[in-house]
Amino acid sequence: MDLALEAAVRSEAMRHLTRREAHDAVYFSRSERFDFRGEKIRFMSRQTGIWKPRQLSAALSISTTFTPPTRERPYDDSVIGPDGLGRYKWRGTDPDQADNRALRTAMINELPLIWFLAFDRGRYAAIHPVYLIREEAAQHQFVVAVDAIQQLDSIDVIHPGIDIQLAHVSRETKQRLHQAPFRAAVLDAYTCRCAICRFGHASLLDAAHIAPDSEGGLPTVTNGLSLCKMHHGAYDSGLIGITPDLVVQVNHDVLNEIDGPMLRHGIQGFHGQSLMVVPRHAWQQPDRDALEVRYQQFLSAGT
Ligand SMILES: [Zn+2]
């Protein structure tokens, strides 16, 4: 195996993803390719979850298919193990199957991979780099560290059983596995615009939770709002509330403040206005009950 080639292809693939993300790409499809020394290389297999381009000996990416929105949690604990690290199933049950061997080769050589998580049919959020750090043959699966820090820490995670570290790893893993598809799903539902002001640069847009993560709010599209950094901050700090009827309300004190154009146009100007962008499909629209709870919190904090 040509380790230099393995590394070069990976670094070009990840550079391509990072560049696309910086240029407002919110999701990726199976047909996407990148250029490597004049050749077009796919990011994902056409049909299966494990992908090894013919130029390589080790797998380049893994992908997890779409879970319909009726299911409560988009990525349940089957992708996160009891040690807080990710899990990815073999293809079938034969350890010598070619795709499984390609994953093992990536693991043995500590090569970074890309994990594509579908949030809709054919639409994927990308997490990279991830590393395969162990194999659990009895469960037909690999253990996945979702960043380089977890990869380095993995020895400690396995052995001493330090609860604080376990909790930390678990939180990091959930954060990355949930956040990437959540953000992609929410931004896509709002056509990559801020719900309040229609600002449209994805790199300055967040998927805001309506029911906060810390209060058990799920990373599902109906618990999300696509908001620009400014309006996300204003929403989370109680400067702005959103009624269950999707009308923006500005905190009373803030409404009477006198300041520069950002306050006047960016905040006060939206008082009493309906959200400018609302998802087209009912199943993507914000949950009215969650909005109501959050709006009551906004009202009680402002008095
Ligand atoms: Zn905005």
What are the extents of the domains in the chain? 3-186, 192-301
Is 170 within 8 Å of 177 (Cβ atoms)? no
Ligand 1 center to 204 CA (angstroms): 9
- From ligand 1's centre to the CA of 234, what distance in Å? 9
pLDDT at 242 over 60: yes
State the distance from the centre of ligand 1 to the C-alpha of 172, rounded, in angstroms.
28
In this model, does residue 176 exceed pLDDT 90? no
Q: How much distance in Å is there from the Cα of 225 to the middle of ligand 1?
A: 11
pLDDT interval class at 104 (50, 70, 90): very high
Comparing 69-83, 150-164, 178-192, 213-227, the range with the smallest average pLDDT is: 150-164
C-alpha dihedral (230, 233, 239, 242), degrees to nearest 10: 90
Burial 120-143 (b: 16+ CB within 10 A, else e): beebbbbbbbbbbbebeeeeebbb
Percent of the chain with pLDDT over 70: 90
Ligand 1 midpoint to CA 114 (Å): 31
* 33 alpha carbon – ligand 1 mean position (Å): 32
228 CA to middle of ligand 1, Å? 4
* Of residues 232 and 72, more confidently modeled: 232
What pLDDT sits at residue 173?
83
- 246 CA to middle of ligand 1, Å? 14
Ligand 1 center to 275 CA (angstroms): 10
In sequence order, the 6+-apart residues with CB closer than 8 A to the CB of 214 are: none
Average pLDDT over residues 227-238: 97
What was the pLDDT predicted at 172?
81
* pLDDT at residue 164, rounded to an integer: 52
Could you tell me the distance, in angstroms and rounded to a whole number, from the CA of residue 200 to the centre of ligand 1? 9
| Residues 243, 272 contacting (CB under 8 angstroms) | no
Q: What's the confidence (pLDDT) of residue 177?
A: 84
pLDDT for 76: 47
Stretch 146-172: mean pLDDT, rounded?
Answer: 63
Q: What is the DSSP string of the chain?
A: --HHHHHHHHHHHHHHHHHHHHTT---B-TT-EEEETTEEEESS-SSSSEE--TT-SS--EEEE----TTSS-SS-GGGB-TTS-EEEE-SSS-TTSHHHHHHHHHHHTT--EEEEEEEETTEEEEEEEEEEEEEEGGGTEEEEESSHHHHHHHHHHHTT--HHHHHHHHHHHHHHHHHHHHHHHHHHHTTTS-TTT----GGGEEEEESS-GGGT--SSGGGEEEEEHHHHHHHHTTSEEE-TTSBEEE-HHHHT----HIIIIIIGGGTTPBPS---SSGGGSPPHHHHHHHHHHHHHHT-
Please work out, in degrees rounded to the nearest 5, the angle formed at the alpha carbon of residue 102 by the alpha carbons of 17 and 47: 65
**d(C-alpha 303, C-alpha 301), whole Å:** 6
Residue 218 confidence (pLDDT): 86
Q: What is the model's pLDDT at position 163?
A: 53
38-42, 59-63, 172-176, 231-235: segment of lowest average pLDDT: 172-176
Please tell me the predicted confidence (pLDDT) of residue 291. 98
Positive or negative CA dihedral for 145, 150, 155, 160? negative
pLDDT given at position 81: 85
Q: pLDDT at residue 170 above 90?
A: no
Cα-to-centroid distance, 217 and ligand 1 (Å): 22
* Amino acid (1-letter code) at residue 72: E
What distances in angstroms separate CA 34 from CA 29, 30, 123, 179, one per listed residue? 12, 12, 17, 25
Q: CB atoms < 10 A from the CB of 54, how many? A: 7
Cα(286)–Cα(282) distance, integer angstroms: 9
Residue 247 CA to ligand 1 center (angstroms) comes to 14
Residue 23's pLDDT band (cuts 50, 70, 90)? confident
Distance between Cα 232 and ligand 1 center (Å): 7
Average pLDDT over residues 101-129: 93
Residue 199 Cα to ligand 1 middle (Å): 6
